[in-house]
Amino acid sequence: MDQDVEKYRRWIRVGANIRSASIFYLAKGIIDKLGDEGTALVVEQIKEMGRNSGKRMRQSFEKQGLDNSFKNYSDRVSSDDIVYRFAWEGSTPVETDEERVVEYTYCPIAEGFKMLGAEGVKVGELFCNNIDDAVIQAYNPEFECVRKSSLNRDGLCRLHFKKKQ
């Protein structure tokens, strides 16, 4: 069974690496052609991707008769049946009904960007600096995600999900 677990973990990680490469090549082409304007466009589209995910999560909860509370969000993203528990490595040192700090020591999306070199890391930072905040704010605009550190730049990705002040 352990071989199967590792095989499936590898599949998920390779898929995430491919996702990173897809984002990178689209973003790089736009940035190369449009410069700073292209960077702004890429960031806006990353946010739109995140908002779409957050909106879909909120709608899914509504269909189940659940509200878009922080607890429901946190329970969903930390459940054992979600990919982040399986293919990512890290911990959750803080978890309350209104706050959650997640620390990743391995992320296949960050790894995928890193595999593409310095330009990949640069695009990865655009993605990682914006995606999680966009997701949670579309799910519930009373909350935010502040990225405290970067896996590829600092060796640890620290995300602080919390109620806005």
Strand, coil or helix: 101:
strand
In this prediction the pTM is 0.91
140, pLDDT greater than 60 = yes
Read off the pLDDT of each residue in 122-146 and give the average, rounded to a whole number.
97
Half-sphere exposure of residue 96: CA atoms within 13 angstroms, side-chain side: 6
| Lowest pLDDT segment from 81-90, 124-133, 146-155 | 81-90
Q: What is the CATH number of the domain that holds 107?
A: 3.30.1380
Where residue 5 falls among pLDDT bands split at 50, 70, 90? confident
Q: How far apart are the first and last CA of the chain?
A: 47
- Which domain range does residue 138 map to? 2-163
Q: In this structure, are residues 21 and 112 in contact, taking their beta carbons and an 8 Å threshold? A: yes
**How many domains is the chain built from?**
1
| Cβ neighbour number for residue 64 with a 10 Å cutoff | 8
